[in-house]
Each structure stands twice: as C-alpha cells, then as structure tokens.
Amino acid sequence: MARRRPYFLFVMPVLMVLVLGLSVFIASRDEKMISARLLGGPTDSAQGFHGRVQVTRESFGVTLPLGHYSLQIIVQQGRHKTTRYVMSDSDGWAEFESPRFTSRKFSLRVLGERGEVLVEGSPQLSTSQWLNSARRRGGDDKKKPHSGDNLVGSIFIPGGVLAVPFESVVSILLKKAGQGVAGGKVRVVPDGMSLLGEGTSLTDKQGWASFTFRPQQHVVSLHVFAQYEQEKIEFDRVLPLVAGSFSLKREESQWKILSPVPRESLWFSFVGEGGRGRGGRLKLQPNNEGGAWGLLAKDLRPREGEDYLVLSSDADGRSFSTVGIPLREQGKTLDIWDASLLDGAPRARALENAKNRRIRYTLGAYAAGSGFLTLFLFWSRVKGEEAELRAALNRVRASKETQDRSSLPLLIACLSLFFAFSLAVLWIVAR
C-alpha cells in the first residue's frame, strides 16, 4: 500500500511565505500621507478670521505640496457653523476667511477630498500677542527733531522705509515756535542714494519740503542744511532701509508692486492694529530692470481698519525683507507675519505609525501562529513515522540495540524550524 506523502508540511510554509510577502508588499506601497497646516492672524478679532492653509503629502519621508487639491474648511463657533470650499494652488496654498463671533469658542477643521480630517483644533492667538511680535520700522523722527536755537527740523518718510533701487520720497519739516514755517530754504546731500531732481527747495505753507531719491546701497544717509530768516540748522541722519524688500507704487487706476530681484510670486495681506485682513498670492512677471512686477486687482483694496499692506516672499511672512507698507502715510511700517496656528502633520504621522504597528503585529502573529502550527504538524508527522518504524522493527524482531530511542534529532529539527520562524517574525515586527 502506497504511503501518502506529507504535502501539507511543504505547502504550509510556502503559503505562509507567499502571504507574508504579499502583505509586506502591499503595506510598503507608496501610501501618501496627506495633512494640512494653518497660518493666520489673531483669532479674537471682531473683523473676522483670515487664514492661509497649505496641504502637503508625505511619501517615504519626503514632504511635498499638494497642488490643485479640493479642501473643505469648517469653522464652528458655538451653534454657528461656517463652511468654505477652496482649491489649493500649485504650491498647495489656499486663502480663506470666516466671520468671528468673539464670545464663542473658535474651532476649525480642514477636510480632504475623501472627507478625511487633515487638521483640526481650536487655535488661540490674541490680537495683543500678534501685534507684539511685529517689527515697526519707520522714517518719522518728528519726535526726535534736530534743532538750533529756535528752528527745528525733522525728517519724515511717508512710505516708512526705503528700498533698493526704488524711488522714494523723503520730506523735511521745518518748525519755529511749534509752527511750520513757509519759505524756509532746505538743501540736502544724500549718501548711498541718488537725488532725482533739485537738491534745494523752499518749504510750503505747512513747513514741508520734499525730495525724491533712489537708494543704491543698503546703508544710506542724508545731510540736511536748513535756513529760515537768519537762523540755520544742519544735521545728518541714517535713513531706514529694508534690504530686498518690495515696493508699492500707487496710481489712480492700479497698484503696482515691484520686486528688486526676479520672482515668480509674492505673498500679501492687508493688516491693521485690529487684526489681519484679506490676503493672497500675487503672480509676478520680469521687467527690464532685472526685477519683477505685478498688479493688485482693483477689488483688492484696503477696507476700513486695514492700514498696512504686508508684502513678503514667504507664505508666513517671516522673511527679513518682509515689510508692512503704511497705506495712510503713518510713517512707520507694521512688519507682521501669520502665526502657525495648527499643524496636522504630527497627527497624520501618529495615525500612520499606529496603522503600521497594527499591520506589523498582525503579520507577526500570523507568522508565529503559522510557525507553531507547522512545528506541531512536523512533530506529529515525525512521531508517527517513528511509531511506524518501531512497529516494523518489532514485526521482524529486530533487537532493541538497532532502535535509536533518542529524541535529540527531533529536538534539533524542531528548534531549527522554530528559529527560522522567529527570524521571520522579528524581521516583520522590527521593520
């Protein structure tokens, strides 16, 4: 009678290896981990909340922006719910705004195209904290006048600061007895910038004399000679200048933004002492001077309370060249940036790691179970073969000396299989 061969002892390990290999292959596929992060201004502003969100995907440890991706933004404030649908640009960014009910808790959630949560939370940023982080640079030194016996002179830059190589107006104010004097003679000598027009001027009825300069270096100063009647004053001042900053040229029909170097785009936002207003990204095109320029759309004009236009090369505005240009000739800039309010990447990584742990433990348990089952079947098969062999030897009345009753070979074989399966389990769990 033909004996059946133990095919299962060969088939089961092969099936186990195939299942493990397929599982590891599926688990190691390029699963894109999508998350979002939120930038914005203060969350307690009655002007509303204005934010900037970026969606990214992380694959094999490399994070890249996810462009042209649909987002659903849900803002919950008590019983009031606001929903916005936006599409990210080529770099994954999208701008949005929401009304703000300051007496209610502010919670925000960003959902992806499949309804998955990309980031959520209750960001908190007070207006005072936001303003305290700002830089204020300016050309208004009327509080620090340069005076003689009775004549007082001050320098004022309407745009707040100068920028290379853009034309800027610098005004000189002459006062006597606290009042602006008309007809005073003012002569200026610049250093590090060129003078456009005459270097001598008479003050108007309010005591102002204005000059136009084009900065050529990143450290510029102005020497001023002033005379009214028989009194004279002379003073110097190093003028504030932001290296690499943008410039705003306002005309009746358009607002033109200039960049000193070639750039594809810039970030802008309207801000005020009460909070952040609208913002966005402006595409630029090269000009003949080696820089770039772009036009703000007519509907993008400051609203009430939006007294500054922040221009930056970075989405969060943290570049050193970021400048908040005063729109009402305040004389000082408000260089402020969007705060990082929420980041969904840590949560997404934690979920992905938890998923990978579950997969590893499941595969490890499967490999361990299959290994022990194979060991049991192998042991049972060997013991059965041994019993049949002994029965056959007894039938032919073989001496006991010819029968090896030692269990060492079986133990060695079982341990070899056990360690082989153990290595497979350790590789799966540790990878």
State residue 318's pLDDT score. Answer: 87
The sign of the dihedral angle between the CA atoms of 347, 351, 352, 354 is positive
Q: Which amino acid is at 239?
A: L
311 and 262 within one domain: yes
pLDDT > 90 fraction of the chain, expressed in percent and rounded? 53
Residues 6+ away with beta carbon under 8 Å from 396: none
Beta strands in 264-409 (DSSP E): 265-272, 275-283, 285-286, 292-296, 308-312, 323-326, 339-343
Distances (CA, A) of 228 to 109, 151, 206, 225, 317: 64, 8, 14, 11, 45
174 and 191 within one domain: yes
Given a cut of 50, whether residue 1 has pLDDT beyond it is: no
| Domain assignment of residue 1, yes or no | no
| Domain assignment of residue 332, yes or no | no
| Domain assignment of residue 84, yes or no | yes
172 and 107 within one domain: no
365 and 283 within one domain: no
H helix or E strand, kind and range, residue 234: strand 231-239
Given a cut of 60, whether residue 179 has pLDDT beyond it is: yes
| Domain assignment of residue 70, yes or no | yes
**Residue holding tokens 């770099």?**
91
68 and 127 within one domain: yes
H helix or E strand, kind and range, residue 394: helix 345-395
Given a cut of 80, whether residue 7 has pLDDT beyond it is: no
368 and 304 within one domain: no
The sign of the dihedral angle between the CA atoms of 191, 197, 199, 202 is negative
107 and 40 within one domain: yes
State residue 22's pLDDT score. Answer: 64
234 and 159 within one domain: yes
Beta strands in 260-300 (DSSP E): 265-272, 275-283, 285-286, 292-296
Of 75, 98, 131, the one marking the end of a domain is 131
**Mean pLDDT of the region 173-199:** 93
Output 1 or 294, whichever has higher pLDDT.
Answer: 294
> DSSP character for 361?
H
State residue 420's pLDDT score. Answer: 63
The torsion angles phi and psi of 22, rounded to 5 degrees, stand at -65, -40
Structural domains counted in the chain: 4
Q: What is the pTM of this model?
A: 0.78
| Domain assignment of residue 140, yes or no | no
H helix or E strand, kind and range, residue 73: strand 70-77
| Domain assignment of residue 327, yes or no | no
121 and 196 within one domain: no
Output 233 or 357, whichever has higher pLDDT.
Answer: 233
- In DSSP notation, 14-58 reads HHHHHHHHHHHHHHTS---EEEEEEEES-SS-TT-EEEEEEEEEE
Gap between the Cα atoms of 166 and 247, Å rounded: 7
Gap between the Cα atoms of 207 and 202, Å rounded: 9
423 and 357 within one domain: yes
Burial of residue 179, with CB atoms counted within 10 A of its CB: 0-12 exposed, 13-18 middle, 19 or more buried: exposed
H helix or E strand, kind and range, residue 411: helix 408-430
The torsion angles phi and psi of 399, rounded to 5 degrees, stand at -70, 155
Given a cut of 70, whether residue 47 has pLDDT beyond it is: yes
Asked whether 199 and 211 are in contact (CB, 8 A), the reply is yes
Confidence of residue 56 (pLDDT cuts 50, 70, 90): very high
Given a cut of 80, whether residue 145 has pLDDT beyond it is: no
Average pLDDT of the chain to the nearest whole number:
84
| Domain assignment of residue 331, yes or no | no
**Mean pLDDT of the region 413-431:** 60
Gap between the Cα atoms of 152 and 181, Å rounded: 10
Given a cut of 60, whether residue 233 has pLDDT beyond it is: yes
We report the CATH number of the domain holding residue 175 as 2.60.40.2410
Confidence of residue 339 (pLDDT cuts 50, 70, 90): very high
Q: Which residues of 50-59 are buried (b: 16+ CB within 10 A; e: fewer)?
A: bbbbbbbbbe
Closest CA to 248 of 162, 179, 131: 162
Given a cut of 70, whether residue 180 has pLDDT beyond it is: yes
Of 204, 239, 274, the one marking the end of a domain is 239
**Mean pLDDT of the region 12-35:** 66
Confidence of residue 107 (pLDDT cuts 50, 70, 90): very high
pLDDT digits (tens, 9 = 90+) for 391-410: 776 777 665 555 555 555 55
| Domain assignment of residue 141, yes or no | no
In this predicted structure, which of 2-6, 156-160, 179-183, 229-233 has the lowest mean pLDDT? 2-6
Of 321, 339, 362, the one marking the end of a domain is 321
116 and 160 within one domain: no
Radius of gyration of the chain (CA): 38
H helix or E strand, kind and range, residue 258: strand 255-259
263 and 235 within one domain: no
Which domain does 389 fall in, by range? 7-28+350-430
pLDDT digits (tens, 9 = 90+) for 65-98: 999 999 999 999 999 999 999 999 999 999 999 9
Asked whether 174 and 180 are in contact (CB, 8 A), the reply is yes
- In DSSP notation, 90-132 reads TTSEEEEEE---TTS--EEEEE-TTS-EEEEE-----HHHHHH
* Secondary structure class of 276 (helix, strand, coil): strand
Tokens of residue 417, six digits: 């299989």
Q: At what angle do helices 408-430 and 7-27 cross, to 10 degrees?
A: 10
